Structure 1
């Protein structure tokens, strides 16, 4: 997955609309479905917990289906890209201990994966205005650059491929 520049204002606007739409859809859908089920299948004991749960589950599944169906729509490009980037970075994070150990030994694939993780994290943190941790990231990047220089490696995030994680 290549790192691309994202229009921050457009991303935030679209993300907020997707979140608001999901929240409204879940609330309205859950209530509508559960009330319909309660009307169709009343319970003499007065408890309708299972119908309420069914309403929430059905609404959530419906929203998931809609989001999946429209994930290629131009409105969703930035939102889906960031979601997929977060998944890719999470895969790297789960293997970070092994990657750092291999990186200290000069493994170019490990160093490349770490570099990609740092570059992707920087992109995400800038989109989310998470500037507090940027100083720590700069320190980690400097350490990584010194290790790469020690082994005469040039790291480019565009060279990263998720398949290299299988080695760790």
Structure 2
């Protein structure tokens, strides 16, 4: 707002329409905030925010391929089961952080199904072994 007001003050429009100065002010301000956050994302103050942002991106990539991953997991694909395990663990963490535990029961059911499937196919699921590259096959 300050930038928009400064532009309007420096370059007044006789017609009274200052839309373009307001738009430029908003765009420049958004760019400045983006650059500042980008440069300081590793600052200890933003560590948790950056971690959650990365986790949400990873979960979104899995969600986009969920149908294929679930089908492959049913066929015994260990990578698909690992991706599901990562998705369930990450979702559980996010929901706990947001205090959004409404659908935790549904997640527990899916987790139990995945555990049974992994046991059936003799697959060990360790989320530390998850790598985004596993998703390329789906």
Instruction: Tell me how far apart the structure 1 counterparts of residues 68 and 21 of structure 2 sit (CA, whole Å).
Output: 47
Question: Which structure exhibits the higher relative contact order, with contacts defined as CA atoms closer than 8 Å and separated by 6 or more residues?
Answer: 1
Q: Equivalent of 1:112, from 49, 65, 82?
A: 82
Number of positions where the alignment pairs a residue of Structure 1 with one of Structure 2: 138
Q: Equivalent of 1:65, from 35, 53, 62?
A: 35
Instruction: Tell me how far apart the structure 1 counterparts of residues 54 and 127 of structure 2 sit (CA, whole Å).
Output: 16
CA drift of 1:53 comes to: 1.1
Instruction: Tell me how far apart the structure 1 counterparts of residues 76 and 95 of structure 2 sit (CA, whole Å).
Output: 28
**Taking structure 1 as the reference length, what is the TM-score of the superposition?**
0.80
Runs ≥4 in structure 1, deviation > 3 angstroms? none
Gaps of 5+ in 2: none
Instruction: Tell me how far apart the structure 1 counterparts of residues 103 and 24 of structure 2 sit (CA, whole Å).
Output: 41
Instruction: Tell me how far apart the structure 2 counterparts of residues 70 and 36 of structure 1 sit (CA, whole Å).
Output: 27
CA drift of 1:162 comes to: 0.6
Aligned to 1:16: none
Gaps of 5+ in 1: 1-30
Match of 2:99, SS state, is coil
Q: Equivalent of 2:73, from 81, 98, 103?
A: 103
CA RMSD between the two structures:
0.8
CA drift of 1:103 comes to: 0.7
- The reply to whether residue 43 of structure 1 matches residue 1 of structure 2 is no
Matches within 5 A, 1:1-168: 31-168=1-138
**Taking structure 2 as the reference length, what is the TM-score of the superposition?**
0.97
